[in-house]
Structure 1
Amino acid sequence: MDIKAQLKKAREAINKKDYKKAVDICKDVLNEDKNNYIALVFLGLSIQETIPNNARTRETEKAFRKAIEIDSDNLLAWNGLANYFEKFDTAEAKLELIKIYAFIIGKETNEKKVIDYCEKLCALYKYTNVEDICRVIYNKVETGNLSETALACSRSSLASILKETNELSQDILVVYEDVLSHLISNTMTVTPDYYSQYLLVLYRLRKLDLLVNHTLQMYKMYPEDITSMNWICKMYNELCIENKVSFISSFTNIEEVYEKLLLLEPQNTMGLFTKALCDVKNENFLDAKKYLRNIVAVRSGLIHAWVLLTRVNLSLHCYNDASESAMFVCKLMQSPKCTFDDTLKLEVHKLYLEALSRSPEIADWENAIDHYLTLDEKYKPDCLPYYIRANINSDNITEAEKWIKCLEDSTQSNSDLIGNFMAQLLRKQQKHKEAFGCFTKRKNPKFRMVS
């Protein structure tokens, strides 16, 4: 048998859509040479184009897989197998396609086909681990000798599926950052959406310096875009609350930004938050509180807003409100997603203890004592005055005296503060004359913590 001539006839039959004839020819060839790769590929192709039934379905897959066993690097059979499974709309078929597409992408050199299979693989992201898909495509982007057009298409495909995924590992976030960095650096691919994704990734990676710089750059590129203004306000808000140096206000008029944002979107959370911050700086605490209460009602997980609300409540001497908002911050700080450093966490504990210890409610004094006792040891020295005040209020005279003595002996000793505490203790014991004597000895009556 002239196998080459027979395979030529099989190809002609396939081109004429005479699949039955092609099947017969291929089977004859395989009877002569059971490992003939081309005959197996033509057989699989021809069988799947005939009227399907279970037996023929199994025979089609069997032919393609047999060809792959013979020559796994040849993509003809892989493409045939992909075409075969694409005809089935089942989860099992999708999982098979994911494996097939991943292999083809790794081997394919034709750019058009690479782009096509990358798009097909990304379309199946809901059926598998997105990170596995990401690694397949990113490896091709990094190691394949692709044109800028192909690279841009592949990166766009990656960005589209990573955007839909909330939880990503650190190494994939780094990949995501690199992908978006290229997309926003290219004038042909940069968009407000890609830029916003990029800022979000930098935020999740806590690359704050880079984040601030690119936030300003995005605003410069898209000054009228809501997303751009939203990011400016977001970064300004968080950096202010975290007491970190912010260059944003040096390069932009933050009031103009939030005013433009609220004009376009009156209930924008970040815009209202920035307005509240500006109100606080102008000591307009009542308006700030109104905005902040509305913000946390809509975004209860916005921890920075809760911190500012607590500060505002204390400034207004609304101690019950302050303790409630501070308690909420303490709960949110327990999340592994909380990015507060120890300095800000300490401030939150101090705000909470100040609110509780200044409250007129006995239960709040008890809560202050309990909260202090459960604190991490590193926070206790700075929070000790609030613990002492709560004990004085609760008539725990012995405990208060003990810790006043410790405070007096510590490196953080404050004669004005200690005199204040001693006066309160004496007053509790009805020793008003002695208490008055403590007040008259105070050198600095401006200490804020104890009144």
Structure 2
Amino acid sequence: MASGGSSKEIKQLLKNAREAIRSKEYKEALKHCKAVLKQDKTNYNALVFVGVAAAELDQPDQAVAAYRKAIETDQQQLLAWQGLAGFYEKSGNPDHRPELAGVYSQLRELFQSKDPKKWREVSEKLARLQDELGDTEQAVQVLKSLIQSEESEDAPASVRHWIQIADALAKVPALVEEYIMLLERAYKIILESGEDRQQHFGNYIKFLSKCNDVSDDRVRTECLRMHELFPSDTYPLTILAGIYLKCKPECLDEVAESVYTKLHSLDETSSSAFLGIGQTSLARRNYLLARDKLQEGLNGSRNNVHGWLYLAMAQLGLHDNRAAVESSKEGLKVLTVSKQLAASQLKRALLTVQADALLDAGTRSQAQKALQIYQKAK
């Protein structure tokens, strides 16, 4: 332990180091710090000042080592943790980002009982960084703790955190039940707040569309709600068109036709609109118009199985049997690589159209092929 005289000397050296840093005389600051560390190898303030000066002199390894040694000396003091966080923030080195997340976590613990405002600030930084690093679960937990610290869940800051939760979870390909419920709650609060409502309404519909246990009826209802609020937005109409395209042409209602027409008026290049208009034309047995519109739609949406099925049906109606066979084959190809909920029904429908086209051709060999395909379609 240093004597009283050396303690006084250390205080003066630390004061000199602090003043040198303020004057941006970083080499001078290092000299004073080294003099302190000769007498007291674990002097906390001297180690922190070495970290500051070394960072400014572009000596990153020395800076990190000094901050880390100071932290080992006293983990409960803030200065070294804050200095290390500032160093990692400024470095721009992606390798430092996981380390920075760890530092933020420590600062959160230290600020929790001492400074609620700084606790919230570092929590927000940590949540953003964890989300960027792909650590969604941890980011969500931090954001939930921030929301719990707010006075009410619909306060502006709380809504902002709900938006962050929604944005983070929306990027996850497959969510567990707990997070599905959390995401639904997030969207409910966000939409009620009116914050960027159009964008988040679209994201909410996208989320519902991904959920296997959410019915088309519910998605349809939300799309119609969004369309009422934002009539010039093509997104809800495009999702609606995708739902109606799965219906049998003879089962379409006026709402479906209205959706296709509105979508086409807003976006004359929309593949979904062309496919939908082709589907309604097929229902009216206007096979020529149906064929033309379906072909236009498939030009921009080659992987739409229903589009190929309806095109084959239109071509069959025109007795263009060779084209109908080819279109049904294309549909079957797409079906083998896509995940369709009603794959077996679609396969059966495509095979049936293919067999009908071969039978309609009238030759004996094609009739035999048709019989074989009918057997497959059973």
Secondary structure of 1:338's aligned partner: coil
Q: Tell which deviates more after alignment, 219-228 or 168-177.
A: 168-177
Q: Is residue 356 of structure 2 the alignment partner of residue 354 of structure 1?
A: yes
Instruction: Find the counterpart in structure 2 of residue 59 from structure 1.
Output: 62
- Retained in 1: the 8 A contact 2:227–2:237? yes
Query: Match for residue 114 of structure 1?
Result: 123
CA distance 1:186–1:372, change in 2 (3 Å): same
Distance 1:339 1:183 in 2: 31
Q: Gapped runs of 5+ residues in structure 2? A: 1-6, 113-118
- Correspondent of 1:202 among 187, 200, 208: 208
Query: Which residue in the other structure is 2:94 paired with?
Result: 94
Matched residue of 2:193: which SS? coil
Root-mean-square deviation (CA), in Å? 3.8
* Structure 1 gaps, min length 5: 374-379, 385-451
Corresponding residue for residue 290 of structure 1: 292
Name which of structure 1's ranges 285-294 and 28-37 shifts more when overlaid on structure 2.
28-37
**1:16 Cα offset (Å):** 4.1
Match of 1:304 in 2: 306
Aligned length: 354
8 A Cα contact 2:223 2:240, kept in partner:
yes
Query: Judging changes above 3 Å, is the alpha-carbon distance between structure 1 residues 160 and 292 closer, same or farther for their aligned structure 2 residues?
Result: same
Matched, 1:221 2:229: yes
For 1:74 and 1:153, the matched residues in 2 are separated by 31
CA contact under 8 A between 2:201 and 2:226: conserved in structure 1? yes
Question: CA separation of 1:356/1:221 partners in 2, compared to 1, >3 Å: closer, same or farther?
Answer: same
Instruction: Report the equivalent of 1:24.
Output: 31
Task: Provide the residue aligned with 2:3 in structure 1.
Answer: none
Counterpart for residue 181 of structure 1: 187
The 3 A distance-change label for structure 1 pair 34 and 337 is farther
Query: Structure 1 361/100 Cα, relative in aligned 2: closer, same or farther at 3 Å?
Result: farther
* Aligned mates of 2:273, 2:243 — CA distance in 1: 11
Task: Assess, with a 3 A threshold, how the Cα gap between structure 1 residues 306 and 102 changes in structure 2: closer, same or farther.
Answer: farther
User: Deviation string for 1:284-343 (max 9, x for gaps)?
Assistant: 222111111111111111222222223333333333222222222222222353332543
Q: 1:26-80 CA deviation, whole Å, 9 max, x = no partner? A: 3344344434444333321221112x2xxx2221122233344455676644443
Normalising by structure 2, we get a TM-score of 0.76
- Equivalent of 1:47, from 51, 54, 69? 54
Instruction: Give the structure with higher Rg (CA).
Output: 1
Aligned to 1:142: 144
- Is it true that 1:338 corresponds to 2:340 in the alignment? yes
Residues 278, 289 of structure 2: 8 Å contact kept: yes
Equivalent of residue 259 in structure 1, options 252, 258, 261: 261
Match 1:168 to one of 173, 178, 195: 173
Provide closer, same or farther for how the CA distance between residues 60 and 282 of structure 1 changes in structure 2, counting only shifts above 3 A. Answer: same
In 1, Cα distance between equivalents of 2:123 and 2:192: 21
Q: What is the letter of the counterpart of residue 49 of structure 1? A: E
